[in-house]
Amino acid sequence: MSYVGIVLISHSPKIVEGTKDLIRQVIKEVPIEIAGGTDDGAIGTNVEMVQQAIERANDGEGVSVFYDIGSAKMNAEMAIEMIGEEDVKLMGAPLVEGSYVAAVESGMGKDVQRITAALANEFG
């Protein structure tokens, strides 16, 4: 079975690593990829890392992309535009809570549109 993938983007590698660990306590089968920090491990974001994470997370069902602040959103938008996939959605929900809910929804077999609607309902 294929699932909607999850991408976690943060200026801090520790934030996305911890969030992924939290989700993995409950959801094991959903693809989750992270893009945290810069190439040299510093605080920041990198559009190429984001693009690669999205590509790894997408097993054909689309990807829900979550971010923390500022340039993480900008880099996510650029990466999504470069990839050009309709089923890659940037989510405005909180990074930790939103990605957790999205992973649960994906694990239940919901498509990216239904996950987006569930997040809009939950987080406004």
Read off the pLDDT of residues 38-67 as tens digits, 9 standing for 90 and up. 989 899 999 999 999 999 999 999 999 999
Catalytic residue among 3, 6, 7, 11: 11
Given a cut of 90, whether residue 74 has pLDDT beyond it is: yes
Alpha helices, DSSP H, located in the chain? 13-24, 47-57, 71-83, 95-107, 112-123
Residue 11 CA: distances (Å) to CA of 7, 36, 42, 88, 112: 13, 6, 8, 21, 25
Given a cut of 90, whether residue 21 has pLDDT beyond it is: yes
**Residue 20 confidence (pLDDT):** 98
33 is catalytic: no
Using alpha carbons, select from 46, 27, 48, 11 the residue that is nearest to residue 104: 27
**Residue 1 confidence (pLDDT):** 86
Q: Which amino acid is at 57?
A: A
Which domains, from first to last, does the chain contain? Answer: 5-123 (3.40.50.510)
DSSP state of 51: H
CB 68 within 8 A of CB 7: no
**Residue 67 confidence (pLDDT):** 98
